Structure 1
Amino acid sequence: MQFPNDIQTALLFDRRVDDLEHIVREFMRVEGMRSGAQFNVPEAKPGAFYRLFGGDELMLTFEYLDHPANMEVFRPSLTSAVTGILCPDIRERLMRNRAHILINVSHGVLGNSPELTRLMATIGRPMEGASLPQFVRRLEIAALASRIALDHVPAQAVHWVQSDQLIPGEKFDAYAGAPPPGPLHIHPFLFGDAAAGKVGIRTFGARHFVGREIRIEPSTLPWAANYETILAFLRIALVKNGYVIPDGDTFGPEDGSLSYRVTHLPAEEGDVPIFVLKPLLHKAFGFVADDYVPRERVIDDRAPPLSLMPEDDEAKMDLVNEWREKRALAEGIGGRFEVRAKGSAPLPPAPPARPPRGIGGRPVFGRKGL
């Protein structure tokens, strides 16, 4: 499911916690002041479990469990090098786990079981909460509820399930403060040969925003620099009027300081589709790929040199139309679209401007062969 309906976070403590009711009441107060949302409490077991409903059809549960969490749940996250980088003593923290609080946030009252998903698909109805804005709201509410709980009782660690990340309790506030998608929501699993200085990234969590995970093959670039580019790629896709960079195209900031090529790969068996980002240029680290095409090779896509265009008139028109559509996408987010010619030969001159053909001096649009 692209937009998981159930967002869960687990707060792990090295002591008994007796503040669950205060945490719930404080969440209701803060969220009410922040957004005007009102919640009722249809189910409560004092000090142990509270179910809230309201605030645009949101369902929240707060559950206190007076025993250690199941360590097996954290095994995938513990295999991630980033987990160790973020919290070198994470295993010791988990061993000190004495109790935990589970916070769940979902939309609607029906839940999201596989059986329900199949039923809704059969009758042609979308699942509740199956939109990006609703998904982002669930993420924000789960983060807010977790931050409020941590204000009451410091936690050893937080398990953010959506991206399968283990975060030190004292660092969670900084992670949760960034709007989605940010470091809290996109887990960079590292791979490659760290000893040789070549590390790549495979994300977990990007699929929930753009339907695919993202991969950058190992290179000499620092993984953190590549990770920043992944977040930039996601921002381009999700900003107002945003779009996913088309297959085979490149993207980068207006200052030309970096450039990455995007390839769309279909899902392999047992996996999900992938966006592959290939670094072509990163000036800050002196990185230039062999197949990078410099800005000096930019051509005017509105009047391209004829020698660089397909010979077939229909193919030529298709290419010009494709460029026009891509230019509109880029300009829709305040960007710029460029076409560059590969190779090193001198660029041929652009064709001379022609006056528009028409009838009585008026241009004719939308017709071929005139």
Structure 2
Amino acid sequence: MAAQNFASVVGQQSVKNLLLGAVQRNHVSHALHFVGPEGSGNLSLALAFAAYLLCNQPGEHDACGSCPSCIKMASLQHPDLHFLFPVVKPDTNKSVEVFMAEWRKMLLTNPLFTYKDWMQVIADENKTGIISVHLAQEIQQKVNMKSFEGGYRIALIWMPETMKPPAANKLLKVIEEPPAKTLFLLVGNSRDTLLPTILSRLQTVKVPPLADNEVETVLRDKMGAAPEKARHIALMSAGNLRDALLHMQEEGGQEDFVALFGDWFRACYKKSDGVNRIALSDRFSDLKREGQKSFLAFSLKMLRQCMLVANGREDLLTVDGNARKLVVNLAKAIPVQAMPQMAKAIDEAIYHIERNAHGKITFVDLSIQIKNLFWNS
């Protein structure tokens, strides 16, 4: 069984220090919102924090890992840790316990799983999961029960952005005025779709993407990747450890994101290169949905590197080799005032891909926007 502790969480030292400091100062908020992109480890951090709070003999920097509480946490069966997560209709009127075996297995085998991964386990990736009023009421009842072991009661709510307003309103009162020693740990990718009344009662814990060197170290030391391969995959993954591990598992045929990004922006730079832009949209479509998201996230990172060069801070670049050469050259071609708008357009494309927009059409539209920003800025 995997230990649920800070030591097992890759990187994120500043977030760990923030959480440990809150405990040591006795200033733990009753409702925390761990917000981070896919592959950042925000769910693992929330679980490690829960383990630390429930530990019978916590150390200065981590849970002990050996007390009865930590042993129960290792199998995610601590009686004072309650979970709430999205399910699909018609199962939204069932108890969350119906899905608990699959949930624990998913967490223990792949703690970096995404919303789409979870949908594939309980239904299929094209289904839409929600946190229903019934499920919200169930967690409300659980936290109002007496603590089994006399310490904290913790409700971990994964993907709270899938709560519809009736479910959010059902939880609002208990989040606002929780029973004594009750904590809510919300874990998701975005703040945008949560009700303002819920958001106002949460303390946000921002979990950033992992640094390239942190991803590279995992690939090299734990997955056995050669240093050059580990460095290349870490760069392509743009701080998403889940994507990096998936790239490692693929047997050849992985599109070179550096080359694709260079070909794409060169085609957008040439006004009359519409044929090549269409051909590139086919290469983008071949990546499938998760690969499309990964490439767009990588493109966003490369564009931000271009912004550093354009602002005279080449010393802050985190890319090297061919990627660095490409960034330096592109920074000379892209109008500085267009860079933030290009970044916004790519970010919006990621948003649409996540919501099942047609990949090829999205990429063609994005390419037209990038081309226009090259020449109309």
TM-score (norm 2): 0.28
Which is helix-richer, 1 or 2? Answer: 2
Which is strand-richer, 1 or 2? Answer: 1
